Structures are given as structure tokens and as C-alpha cells.
Chains A and B, each alone.
Chain A
């Protein structure tokens, strides 16, 4: 007799929805995982007046949306969310439960896993169901990003993971989709120990790496801030944005908001040109969602060449001005 599995659950993180696409990316991946397990995809959604998000999640592929609508859920409150979701998990028994590795997911998902006495892999860069064991294989950077570890949770349920934004692609919006919506009774809330006085969005600059279709990424191979600043000229010519590796940022060549990789941003650009970057894993996890990656590095053995579509072995500092000048003439 074949084993039957609970649904694949996805936490509906709708704050800053039209920029934050992580839930939609997870729905797409959740569908793949659910298909392997012959089960469904459910998005859990907590808040007040969240109707439009429920509809969006169905449009992007969710089979079911499980909704708690209540004024007490209007503000994110970790104890309330943890208590409510642990009750739901115990009641509905999902096989897998995933959330985005956003500030939101990173705060409450470990608490939820602890409450449920199950494992959690943080900041995963890939998820697959092993076809033999049917366990969720959670790929996550380990040892400071030097290794990619494959983690499984053989005994405890649900199998839980947070996923780095940008590593999966969302499905297109389908207005004709119809799903199922469930409203579990929610009338018991813990008395919160934190009172939200006011919330306001962070002041944002103009950098929008996640939405850029072209990203020029620079690393220490550029050798100076002056050379690094040429990347902005190249980005302007290609109507793109500039990203940077951690060492480049630590050298003061760019602001933290331009950080690409494991602890920074992940891009899903059409084109990434990576210039003077060695290709350390903690950096390449941020660009692996790009459609095409071109790298320029003088070291032919640089790890970056293992992941690129086109590689140029050259001194980045020498090539960059030529590239800019050539593009200037042609564009």
C-alpha cells in the first residue's frame, strides 16, 4: 500500500507583497514537491483583510489557502503566529512546511520548529524530494558557505525549511485558477508580551537588485574603488544595477544594500556580468537564479567559471574600460 502524505505548506509572507515575491516562488517549488508526494500545496495566510493575497496565491498555483482573518493578526507578532500555526500543524499534519528566509521567516520559523519538536534547515538554496526515500532534501550552505550540505529530516514532521529569496521562479499569474479556501476557527490567542506601538517601512534607496533585469556584480579583482565605480557606468549603459561581493563591501567600495549572495540579495536577472569575483559559494548563491551569467576574471581556475554561461579570462580592471567604450559606441 502506498504511503499518503500531508500537504506541502507554504507560509504566506505578504508584507511588501509586490516586491516580496518569495511566497510565490515557494508555491512554484511547493507544487513540484507536492507532485512527487502526490499531495497538494497549501498556503497558510494570517492577517486582517488578506482577501487579495489569498486570491493571488491561488492565481500563482496554490491548491488551497488556509486563512485566519482576525484583527489580532493584523500586526506580525511572533508568539501569536507561532502558537496559532503550531496548533494548525498538529491538527492538519502537513508533510513539509516552508517559508522564505526573510527577516519575518527567520524570526518565527525556528520558534515554530522548536515548538513542534522538528528539524529546520535555514537559508536553503534548493529543495528536492528524494525519489527513493521520498524525504525532503534540503540543500543549505554550511561552514560559512564553504560547503553545500544536504539535510533530511527522517523522523519528525513536518520537514521544515526556510528558503533564500530568488532561488526559485514563480509561476505566471493565472486569473482562471480556482482553488479551495479553508477558514479554521481561531478564537484563542496568547496574550502577547510585545506591544507594537508603531511600524514603518525602512527608508529605501533606489537600489532594486531583485527586480533588475541586468546586474553587474563586482569583486576584489577590480582592485580599487575607482575601478569598481566603473561598474555604475556599465550598469547605466545596460539599464541595470550594481551588486557586490562581501569583500568589496567590506572594502568600502559599495553599500551593504548591494550585497549579493547568501547573506545578501539573490537576483533573477536576465543577465549577470560578474567582474573580478572569484566565485565563492556564498556569493554565487545570489546569482544562480539569473538566466545568463558572464564572468570576467584573470584566474582561469577561478570557481566562478564553473557556473557561468560565458567566461572571459582577462584582467577585469583592463577589460572594463574597453567594454564600456565599446558599448557606448554601439548603444
Chain B
């Protein structure tokens, strides 16, 4: 058998991760207080925007840089900047360097979101890094979301 990689695929919207389409994915533990996570949530039919929620930490110190909830800044102790770009947005560090870029391409009948970022967890491990025009996720398991993520109450 030829080796292969596989994922789920949505007819409506996908993210490009590890050179694969996927309806959604989560890295880290969204429910863990103060811990790193990156959630690219399933986008429902009729919606055109991706759903990015994340807690991004500083490399080395593990301090919180910024927290996003559905593409909007929720907590911003390091004065990061949310900047609109065609088809998406960027989160810039106060130094002006791009921390995260999210850009959505509209097709005739669907959408594809590409993410660019280099992200570390609280232990200093590289969890997400750029790969071509998208990202590579470093995780033994890469949970694929084919329905919207549910946070613990």
C-alpha cells in the first residue's frame, strides 16, 4: 500500500495544515488555564470567516502575549496589534513583527484559510511553524474537528 496522509474535508470551508485540507483543528489544551492553545474551529455553512481562538505565549518565558476569541483580541497584556489585511487579519507584536497571519481565499462555492505563525507552548516547545504558504503542526496527534469545538463549561 502506498503511504498516505488523510484528513476530513468540509465542502464549505477548510484550513490548510500540514499541506492538507481540514475543516478544523486544535493544538494544545483550550480548557487548561493559562496554557497554550490554538483552535481553528469548524466554520459553518453560510459563514465566510474563519474562527480562530488561541492563547499565544512568548517564546522562552511562556508569558501570555495575546488571547483571541473568534478572531478578536480578548486579552492583550503585551500590547499586540490586530491589523486587517485583504481576506483576513494579522496579529503584530509591539515590535511590529507578525505573530500570526490568517487569510481566507474565497472560491466560487467555498473558502480556504491559510495560517502563518511560529508558536510555542508554555514549555518552550515549538507547536506550529510555517510550511510553504501555510503551517506545520507539531503534535503527535492532530485532532481534526468536523464539528464546532465545545469548551468545557
User: What residues of B have a CB within 8 angstroms of the CB of A52 in the complex?
Assistant: 107-110, 112
Confirm or deny: B46 has a beta carbon within 8 angstroms of a beta carbon on chain A.
yes
Q: Output the least CB separation between B147 and chain A (Å).
A: 9
Can you list, as one digit per residue, whether each of B100-120 has a CB less than 8 Å from chain A (1) or not (0)? 000000011110100000000
B109 touches A175 (CB 8 A): yes
CA distance A55 to B11 in the complex (A): 5
CA distance A182 to B1 in the complex (A): 13
Confirm or deny: A59 has a beta carbon within 8 angstroms of a beta carbon on chain B.
yes
Given known contacts A18-B108, A175-B110, A184-B4, is B19 in contact with A58 (CB within 8 Å)?
A: no
Count B-side interface residues using an 8 Å CB cutoff. Answer: 26
| Nearest neighbor of A88 in chain B, beta-carbon distance | B2
User: What residues of B have a CB within 8 angstroms of the CB of A18 in the complex?
Assistant: 108
A178-211 CB contacts (< 8 Å) to partner B: 178-185
User: What residues of A have a CB within 8 angstroms of the CB of B20 in the complex?
Assistant: 181, 183
Given known contacts A58-B9, A58-B11, A65-B9, is B23 in contact with A178 (CB within 8 Å)?
A: yes
B residues contacting A by CB (< 8 A) are: 1-12, 14, 16, 19-21, 23, 45-46, 107-110, 112, 146
Count A-side interface residues using an 8 Å CB cutoff. Answer: 27
Q: List 24 A-B contacts (CB under 8 A).
A: A51-B14, A54-B9, A55-B14, A55-B21, A55-B107, A56-B11, A56-B109, A59-B109, A65-B9, A69-B19, A88-B2, A92-B1, A175-B109, A177-B11, A178-B8, A178-B146, A179-B9, A180-B6, A180-B8, A181-B6, A181-B20, A182-B5, A184-B3, A185-B3
B10 touches A58 (CB 8 A): yes
Confirm or deny: A87 has a beta carbon within 8 angstroms of a beta carbon on chain B.
yes
A173 touches B9 (CB 8 A): no
Confirm or deny: A174 has a beta carbon within 8 angstroms of a beta carbon on chain B.
yes
Confirm or deny: A19 has a beta carbon within 8 angstroms of a beta carbon on chain B.
no
Confirm or deny: A2 has a beta carbon within 8 angstroms of a beta carbon on chain B.
no
A183 touches B4 (CB 8 A): yes
CA distance A92 to B16 in the complex (A): 25
A134-181 CB contacts (< 8 Å) to partner B: 173-181
User: What residues of B have a CB within 8 angstroms of the CB of A184 in the complex?
Assistant: 2-4
6 interchain residue pairs of minimum CB distance: A59-B11, A175-B45, A52-B107, A181-B9, A177-B11, A184-B4
Confirm or deny: A133 has a beta carbon within 8 angstroms of a beta carbon on chain B.
no
